[in-house]
Amino acid sequence: MKTFDYDAIRLLPKKSVLKSRREADTSVTLGNHTFKLPVMPANMATVIDENLAEWLASNGYFYVMHRFQPETRFDFVQNIQSKGLIASISLGITDGEYALIDQFKEAQITPDYITIDVAHGHSDYVIKMVTYIKENLPDAFLIVGNLGTPEAIVEIEAAGADATKVGIGPGKACITKDKTGFGTNGWQLAAIAQCAQVATKPIIADGGIRHNGDIAKSIRFGATMVMVGSMFAGHDETPGDLIEQDGKTYKAYFGSASAYQKGHSHNVEGRKLLVPYKGPIQNTLTEMEEDIQSAISYAGGRDLNSLKTVDYVVLTDY
Ligand SMILES: NC(=O)C1=CN([C@@H]2O[C@H](COP(=O)(O)OP(=O)(O)OC[C@H]3O[C@@H](n4cnc5c(N)ncnc54)[C@H](OP(=O)(O)O)[C@@H]3O)[C@@H](O)[C@H]2O)C=CC1
Ligand SMILES: Nc1nc2c(ncn2[C@@H]2O[C@H](COP(=O)(O)O)[C@@H](O)[C@H]2O)c(=O)[nH]1
């Protein structure tokens, strides 16, 4: 099996048809809605909170709220939908999560997007949850993760997922490969390519995005959108206090399977690190948009579709 990752790939330019990069359209449709960028912040406690979720929804960006304050999710959905905004939440697969689905059904409230968020999404118990959600909240757009193989994509799509999320262990706060020996760390982009070959529904590339150019590369190899953790952590709007160290300013970024998030030390697969403080998140989103517009121009097109067919080289020294 040939493997490669983001750093080994260079996309090859085609003749541009744009007078200005500002003409390039970076919008993407997922389910019934169209968003400004093919990018979403990771559903992690140090990346998003309810305030940022509402800001993103109000400004045309997709988001997935995390599941680590489980008791707030019902009110969150009710509140954000009362403002005419999209509700997008995460669920686990433990018994209590079924009760939340029942609560939504009884109240006749359907979150617009639900993401099943577990480490190993290719699981009988994930399939059971997919089935339950599709039976009880059929109008919710269901994203299921995380997966890392074509077999998993085929089975989870067949179970009823509307989109799948690919990436086992490429995240910056991740220690899965060291703790278990498993995952797509080091070959995440090739894993996306393999999964995309069998996928009939959108794929979200999750983890390992270190540069804005990695967004274009993800789309070239089959992703519809990307999920970004560490690059979104550290902003004014992301959760956490500023930390001063050696004259520099940081914010904490910790894995959802870190002892810090779990509150215990069993089955830890994540770590805590500091990321540089980055100021307002709008600046980062604008830079991403401009870089994706440039990428579309290099691809010789007018929108994200043009990225899907560009040629590329694999650098052999990696
Ligand atoms: N993308 C990635 O590479 C990874 C992401 N994460 C993130 O960390 C958070 C916690 O993940 P997770 O531990 O799945 O969530 P949970 O702690 O909610 O566990 C999921 C459920 O599945 C059971 N389970 C069975 N086998 C596994 C397995 N191999 N790995 C994990 N759970 C298993 C667990 O039981 P029991 O605990 O008794 O085994 C638990 O009931 C999530 O937000 C997830 O996205 C974590 C690791 C990797
Ligand atoms: N193996 C682990 N993966 C984790 C954990 N917490 C989150 N994640 C995954 O990382 C991405 C974000 O990656 P980044 O490279 O953009 O920082 C996130 O969406 C999860 O899929 C964890 O504790 N362990």
What CA–CA distances, in Å, run from 90 to 45, 68, 83, 113? Answer: 12, 9, 20, 8
What is the per-residue pLDDT for 141? 98
Sequence-ordered alpha helix ranges (H) in 269-315: 281-298
Which of the residues 142, 174, 190, 285 is marked catalytic?
Answer: 174
Q: Name the residue at shortest CA distance from atom 1 of ligand 2.
A: 174
Q: Name the residue at shortest CA distance from atom 5 of ligand 2.
A: 255
Catalytic, 174? Answer yes
What is the per-residue pLDDT for 241? 94
Task: Indicate the pTM of the whole model.
Answer: 0.97
Interhelix angle 95-106/73-82, nearest 10 degrees: 30
- State the DSSP code for 8: G
Stretch (H or E) spanning 90? strand 88-91
Domain residue ranges in the chain: 6-314
> At the top level of CATH, which class does the domain 6-314 belong to?
alpha beta
User: What b-and-e string marks burial along 49-67, b requiring 16 or more CB atoms within 10 Å of the CB?
Assistant: bbebbbebbeeebbbbbbb
What is the per-residue pLDDT for 204? 98
Pocket around ligand 1 at a 6 A CB cut-off? 92-94, 117-120, 146, 167-169, 171, 174, 176, 207, 256-257, 267, 269
Please tell me the number of the ligand nearest to residue 129's CA.
Answer: 1
Q: How far apart are CA 167 and CA 152, in angstroms?
A: 12
What is the per-residue pLDDT for 25? 98
Residue 209 labeled ligand binder: yes
Residue 180 alpha carbon, nearest atom of ligand 1: 29
Pocket around ligand 2 at a 6 A CB cut-off? 42, 44, 146, 167, 169, 171-174, 176, 206-209, 227-230, 255-258, 269-270
**Which of 47, 164, 165, 174 has most ligand 2 atoms within 8 Å of CB, for mutation?**
174
If you measure from the C-alpha of residue 167 to the centroid of ligand 2, how many angstroms do you get, rounded to a whole number? 8
Q: Are 26 and 38 in contact (CB under 8 A)?
A: yes
User: Over its length of 318 residues, how does the chain's per-residue pLDDT go in tens digits?
Assistant: 889 999 999 999 999 999 999 999 999 999 999 999 999 999 999 999 999 999 999 999 999 999 999 999 999 999 999 999 999 999 999 999 999 999 999 999 999 999 999 999 999 999 999 999 999 999 999 999 999 999 999 999 999 999 999 999 999 999 999 999 999 999 999 999 999 999 999 999 999 999 999 999 999 999 999 999 999 999 999 999 999 999 999 999 999 999 999 999 999 999 999 999 999 999 999 999 999 999 999 999 999 999 999 999 999 865
What is the per-residue pLDDT for 316? 85
Q: What is the ipTM of this complex?
A: 0.95
Q: Name the residue at shortest CA distance from atom 16 of ligand 2.
A: 229
Residue 279 labeled ligand binder: no
